[in-house]
A and B are shown apart, each in its own frame.
Chain A
Amino acid sequence: GAVVSQHPSWVICKSGTSVKIECRSLDFQATTMFWYRQFPKQSLMLMATSNEGSKATYEQGVEKDKFLINHASLTLSTLTVTSAHPEDSSFYICSANSGTYNEQFFGPGTRLTVL
């Protein structure tokens, strides 16, 4: 199946700093990528849909100025958590569509800890 990578796999940062997470489709081109957030023992919450070459579509309640998404190429989308605070600590997962039925293939996730 299609492979999606994320980098870094984990990051610890100080409050007030910004953190960039990369999501790459390794063996296919993804016109659409998705960013999810997952709190401990909870399901995935869709944050935004990222379309190559255009602005991301954010879900209700997600601050677009806080979570900056860029999808500059067909194989790379980035999520930047700006001015991170401890409440932004979470597991962030990206996915990309591929295949006839737009199956989603998920990255391994990035654990962000804000001190």
Chain B
Amino acid sequence: AQSVAQPEDQVNVAEGNPLTVKCTYSVSGNPYLFWYVQYPNRGLQFLLKYITGDNLVKGSYGFEAEFNKSQTSFHLKKPSALVSDSALYFCAVRAPYGQNFVFGPGTRLSVLP
């Protein structure tokens, strides 16, 4: 069965500093991995995905994520955080031949001015 863990409920970072939001997963076969961001009372916005190829994936708004197969991780990163990055971030995994996504519990990112 697929599962996703986001070990941190909350991440605080100062504006301008680099940020990391952690994600580990469990899935049979090669995973399809996704990051989404959710602002208050809004749906989820797609940030980036890893399907195959280069382990470092670049996405929207300056975010990137690195797929690490040996550690079964897909951490989200940004070199310089903005206050406007403050939101709820969800990691998700899908098995290669499935349709359903499994979401992590979410990590609330607060970027402090």
By a CB distance below 8 angstroms, the chain A residues around B99 are 32, 49, 97, 102
Q: Bound complex: CA of A93 vs CA of B41, how far in Å?
A: 10
Q: Bound complex: CA of A44 vs CA of B92, how far in Å?
A: 10
**Interface: A25 (CB within 8 A):** no
Q: Bound complex: CA of A103 vs CA of B46, how far in Å?
A: 9
Whether B46 and A105, one on each chain, are in contact in the complex, defined by CB atoms closer than 8 angstroms, is: yes
Whether A93 and B43, one on each chain, are in contact in the complex, defined by CB atoms closer than 8 angstroms, is: yes
Q: Bound complex: CA of A54 vs CA of B50, how far in Å?
A: 31
* A43-B90, A102-B94 given; A108·B49 CB < 8 A: no
**Interface: A28 (CB within 8 A):** no
Q: Name the contact of A46 in the complex, choosing from B49, B51, B100, B106 (C-beta under 8 A).
A: B100
By a CB distance below 8 angstroms, the chain B residues around A104 are 34, 92, 101
By a CB distance below 8 angstroms, the chain B residues around A97 are 99
Q: Bound complex: CA of A67 vs CA of B106, how far in Å?
A: 25
Whether A43 and B43, one on each chain, are in contact in the complex, defined by CB atoms closer than 8 angstroms, is: no
Q: Nearest-CB distance from B41 to chain A (Å)?
A: 6
Per-residue 0/1 for A45-61: is the Cβ within 8 Å of any B Cβ (1 yes, 0 no)? 01001000000000000
Q: Bound complex: CA of A70 vs CA of B91, how far in Å?
A: 28
Residue ranges of B at the interface with A (Cβ–Cβ < 8 Å): 32, 34, 36, 41-46, 49, 51, 90, 92, 94, 99-101, 103-106, 108
